[in-house]
Every structure is written in C-alpha cells, then in structure tokens.
Amino acid sequence: MRIKFWMLGGCFALLLGSAQASENYPVELRGEWLAAAEQGDAEAQFKLGKSYCCGYAAGYDTSKALYWMCKAGKQGHIDAIYEMGRQLEAVTADYLPFTEQHFILEAYVWYRQAVDLGGHPLAQLYSRKLENSFSAAQMKIIEARQSAWCESGCDEYTD
C-alpha cells in the first residue's frame, strides 16, 4: 500500500502537546522498541510507530508507522489512537479501492475512539470538525466501523 502524507514539517499533528514530534523517537532505538512491541508492549508500539512517522526521507515508513500506532491504539494507548486519526486525516491514496474519503471516515472513527476511551481534547475538536461534514449515509458507514473497531486488525496499514 502506497500512502502519501500532506504534512508540513513532519508529524506536526501534535502541535498542542499530546505527544512529542517524531524527532524525539530516534531511529537508533527502533531495535529496542521492536523487541518490546512484538511482545505486545503498547508504549513500545507507539514509540516505534512514531519513529517511522512521517515523511519521505530515509528511515521513514508511513505504513509501518500506521501499523505500529494502530497496534498500540487497539490496546487503548490514547495518544496512539489520536495520532492514528491525525495521520489518516492527512493521508490521500493513489491506489484503489481506497479513496481520500475512506481515510477521512477512518480518521473520524479513530478520533471518536480517543474521545470515548480517554476524553482526548484534541480528538474531540477534530472529530467535531469532521462530523459536521458527513452525510447521513457516511454516518451509517462510520457507525458500522465504530462497532467493528475492536475486532478489526491493523494489517490494512501494511504494504
């Protein structure tokens, strides 16, 4: 899966401070985080995801970033859940069957999870912004995705 990000200056998604920019997740620590992430450590999964996030320079891998942040999010890591929403809102697809609208709907689902599970204030702000633009048909799709959120995996974010 090839994914492009519309990001200004890397992972600026967390400007207001819910987590640190990707520079604080150095590539050199990936091996350490990978071992813990593969054992199910949500914080290590989040850090590993952030270390792959965001850009086109050597060492960045958007699919791996999304995969590991998804894994952390599925375990209830609130910052990972919020970050998934931010990244998916920023993404556009140049492949089928996904469309940009697919990612906007997915972003909303992740934002709502962050709000519902931990009251993340930025997720609340962004989810409200998106919610106002959805049609009734789109809200039905979202409701179905929200119902299946816990059971859905993270493999859709891998190449």
Q: What is the CATH number of the domain that holds 42?
A: 1.25.40
pLDDT digits (tens, 9 = 90+) for 82-96: 999 999 888 755 444
Cα–Cα dist 63/71, whole Å = 12
Give the pLDDT score at 96: 40
Residue 38, domain member (yes or no): yes
Give the pLDDT score at 9: 27
Residue 8, domain member (yes or no): no
Q: How many folded domains does the chain comprise?
A: 1
Coil, strand or helix at 9: coil
Residue 149, domain member (yes or no): yes
Residue in 51, 11, 57 with CA at minimum distance from that of residue 31: 51
Residue 64, domain member (yes or no): yes
Cα–Cα dist 136/104, whole Å = 15
Give the pLDDT score at 15: 34
Give the pLDDT score at 95: 42
Residues in the chain with pLDDT < 50? Answer: 1-21, 94-96
Residue 63 Cα to chain centre, angstroms: 10
Residue 2, domain member (yes or no): no
Q: Are 54 and 25 in contact (CB under 8 A)?
A: no
Q: What is the pTM of this model?
A: 0.79
What lies within 8 Å, CB to CB, of 51 at 6+ separation is: 22, 25, 26, 27, 29, 30, 33, 65
Residue in 59, 108, 50 with CA at minimum distance from that of residue 80: 50
Give the pLDDT score at 72: 97
What is the extent of the structural domain holding 26?
17-157
Residue 115, domain member (yes or no): yes
Residue 5, domain member (yes or no): no
Residue 19 Cα to chain centre, angstroms: 13
Give the pLDDT score at 63: 87
Residue 105, domain member (yes or no): yes
pLDDT digits (tens, 9 = 90+) for 69-85: 999 999 999 999 999 99
What lies within 8 Å, CB to CB, of 41 at 6+ separation is: none
Give the pLDDT score at 124: 94
